[in-house]
Amino acid sequence: MNIRPATAADSAAIGDLLQQSWGSHIAVAHGVAYDATTLPAIVAEEDDRIVGLLTYNLQDDELEVVTIDAPAQHRGVGTALLKAATETAQAAGARRLWLITTNDNLDALRFYQRRGLRIVEVRPGAVDESRKLKPSIPQAGAYGIPLHDELVLELLIGQHRHL
């Protein structure tokens, strides 16, 4: 597996993966609608095919992971992408990497916490507000859990021994 920054040549494959994973290239979090196809990205590649994607927003001294997609789970793709994002943050002088997941996403909560990220905030009703920007967000998510809240997780750069 090769982990590398995305290039313009990847744009069609990135758009396809975002559509497959999110139903759209628009990602909504903390009241902001992102066109994920325009964000910097890191891709995981096998046999000249993109098998994973992480998009991010680097602002000031923070790197926000906007989307992370590794459709073939339990193969190390997500971990490799998260590690590369952490290295990108560190190289840019960022003090923290952070992301948002939702209250239904139990698998993601397990994944992130096992890699050293910590829950630092719960935003009750934030997904209900995001649904106003992106009406296609479902009422129920993984495991049939009602989808209402955002959870913020962070990793302080330099404290990522779990990756």
Position 80 pLDDT exceeds 90: yes
For the chain, the domains span: 2-156
How many angstroms separate the CA atoms of 118 and 133, rounded?
27
Q: What is the pLDDT of residue 83?
A: 96
Q: What is the pLDDT of residue 62?
A: 97
Position 160 pLDDT exceeds 70: no
CATH superfamily, domain 2-156, is Gcn5-related N-acetyltransferase (GNAT) (3.40.630.30)
Q: What is the pLDDT of residue 78?
A: 94
Position 74 pLDDT exceeds 60: yes
Answer with the residue of higher pLDDT: 34 or 149: 149
- Comparing 14-23, 39-48, 51-60, 102-111, the range with the smallest average pLDDT is 14-23
Nearest-CA neighbor of 85 among 72, 70, 71? Answer: 70
State the average pLDDT for the chain. Answer: 91
Q: What is the pLDDT of residue 25?
A: 80
Answer with the residue of higher pLDDT: 98 or 18: 98
